[in-house]
Amino acid sequence: MSAVPHATSLRRAPVQRRSAERLARILDACAELLDEVGYDDLSTRAVAQRAGVPIGSVYRFFGNKRQMADALAQRNLERFSERVGERLEDAGDRGWRHAMNAVIDEYLDMKRTAPGFSLVDFGNQIPVGTRRAEPNHRVAGRLTDLLSGYLGREAADEDLRRTFLVAVETADALVHLAFRTAPEGDEKVIAELREMLGAYLARVLD
C-alpha cells in the first residue's frame, strides 16, 4: 500500500489516482536524493527532474523542500504504522514485550533499508515542523492509538501516552547512537535499548 501523507503537510491533497501516483513519485525522488546529496543540497528542481514531472507539479503540492521533507517524514510514519500493525495482527496476542520488539524491529528495518530515512526518519533529523519535539509526540501518539487495544488499554489513557512518549524519546536517542557507532546499527547498543525499554515498560504494562 502506498501511504499518502496527511493533508496538512500538502498545499493541495491529491484527489485523483493519477495525482496521488505523481505525489508518490515526487516523494520517492526526494528520498533517493536525500541519500545521494543530503538535505542542504536537495532542491525542488532536482526532485522534479528525478521524478520525471514538471517543476509546477512539485509546487502544486509543496511550497519548498522543507514541506516536502516533512511530507516524506509523515509518509514514513504511515508506512511504519502499517507494518507494525500487520506484524501484530499476524502474530496474534503475544503480549506487550512482543509488541515492543515489533516496533523496534520495524524501526530498525526502515532505518537500514528505506531511502532517505536516515536523514528524515519521522521528522527529527532535519528542521521540519513547528518545534523540535513535535515528531516524537506524533510517533508516540500514533503508537498509543495503534497499541492501546492490543494491550487492553484505553487510547485516551494519558499515563499510557506519557509512557510511550518517554519510550519513543529514549529509543530515538539510543537508535541514533547505535547508527553513529556502526553503519548498520551497533547490536550491543540495540540490545541495551531493548533491555532498558523492557524494564521501563514493565513498570506500567505488567
Match domain 7-66 to its CATH number in 1.10.10.60, 1.10.10.10, 1.10.3720.10, 3.30.479.30.
1.10.10.60
* Single pTM value for the model: 0.85
Task: Give 42-59 pLDDT, tens digit per residue.
Answer: 999 999 999 999 999 999
- Cβ count near 76 (within 10 Å): 23
Task: Give 143-166 pLDDT, tens digit per residue.
Answer: 999 898 888 888 778 889 999 999
| CATH architecture under which domain 73-205 falls | Orthogonal Bundle (1.10)
Lookup: cell for 98: 512482543
Residue type, 168: V
Rg (CA), the chain: 18
Parts of the chain with a pLDDT under 50: 1-2, 7, 128-132
Gap between the Cα atoms of 110 and 17, Å rounded = 26
Ranges in the chain annotated CATH 1.10.10.60: 7-66
Give ∠ CA 140-81-206 in degrees, rounded to 5: 55
